[in-house]
Chain A
Amino acid sequence: GAVVSQHPSWVICKSGTSVKIECRSLDFQATTMFWYRQFPKQSLMLMATSNEGSKATYEQGVEKDKFLINHASLTLSTLTVTSAHPEDSSFYICSARAIRERSYNEQFFGPGTRLTVL
């Protein structure tokens, strides 16, 4: 159980276009989903936290108008990179927190999406 999928797994796009990445919890409902970005050989940096039915909370320095996050249901969150530029090329990973009794913040990670902007 506790599987999170991401689609697409990789995408190449031209500069100026928008790209949508989907994050789905397949066998559980997620109260909260998180979006991370990872540059090559670096750590995961939290971009934003999204709760179902409410606006996402963005980390300092992350442009909310550029990285649009929608969490329309308890199993789906989307990240749209608007007007993508080469510097947005990165590995984007989502995670989901399950609705269940846990003593700690258990997050399940998706397999990631590699974005390359030409």
Chain B
Amino acid sequence: AQKITQTQPGMFVQEKEAVTLDCTYDTSDQSYGLFWYKQPSSGEMIFLIYQGSYDEQNATEGRYSLNFQKARKSANLVISASQLGDSAMYFCASSNTDKLIFGTGTRLQVFP
């Protein structure tokens, strides 16, 4: 069974600064995927970034990058140049089949 752990219930960051949101995973599968989603207060789940277990390069999507350390089973999300609109819940998730298994989330608040 897969398990996702997000140890930071809340994080604060000043606008324009970078922030790292932690995620560790536990799986015995060789092939799996790791995802990050953003959930604003409105509730919709917004896909941010994906990392495959066999990908050698860390994934990047604009201001988002995923710091993938396979041996440590961590998949931290780095948001560069934070914006006020980045304030939201952030969920890490893993998948090895059709199912997505989510972590408990981190609430990020960006202040001016």
A104 CA / B104 CA spacing, docked (Å): 22
Q: Is the CB of B104 within 8 A of A105?
A: no
How many B residues, CB 8 Å from partner? 21
A43 interface neighbour in B33, B50, B102, Cβ under 8 Å: B102
Which of B13-21, B22-30, B77-85, B92-100 participates in binding chain A? Answer: B92-100
Task: Fill in one digit per residue for B82-112: 1 if any A CB lies within 8 Å of its CB, else 0.
Answer: 0000000001000101111111110000000
Residues of chain A in range 1-50 having any CB-CB distance to chain B below 8 Å: 32, 34, 42-46, 49
A103 contacts chain B at the CB level, 8 A cutoff: yes
- Tell me whether A81 is interfacial, beta carbon within 8 Å: no
Interface majority SS on A: helix, strand, loop or mixed?
A: strand
CB contacts (< 8 Å) of B52 on chain A: these are 103-104
Assuming the contacts A43-B105, A93-B43, A112-B43, asked whether A104 and B98 have C-beta atoms less than 8 A apart, the reply is no
| Inter-subunit contact B99/A49 (CB<8 Å) | yes
For chains A and B in complex, what number of residue pairs have CB atoms within 8 angstroms? 54
Given A44-B91, A105-B95, A105-B97: A112 and B102 interface contact (C-beta under 8 Å): no
Question: Do B44 and A32 have beta carbons less than 8 Å apart?
Answer: no
User: Once bound together, how far apart are the Cα atoms of A108 and B103, in whole Å?
Assistant: 18
Which residues of A are found within 8 Å of B95, using beta-carbon distances?
104-105
Q: Does A91 contact B (CB under 8 A)?
A: yes
B50–A109 contact, CB under 8 A? no
One digit per residue, 1 when the CB lies within 8 angstroms of any chain B CB and 0 when it does not, for chain A 67-98 equals 00000000000000000000000010101010
The answer to whether A46 and B99 touch across the interface, beta carbons within 8 angstroms, is yes
A104 contacts B43, C-beta separation under 8 Å: no
Tell me whether A95 and B97 are in contact in the complex, defined as CB-CB below 8 angstroms, given that A43-B105, A104-B52, A105-B33 are known contacts. no
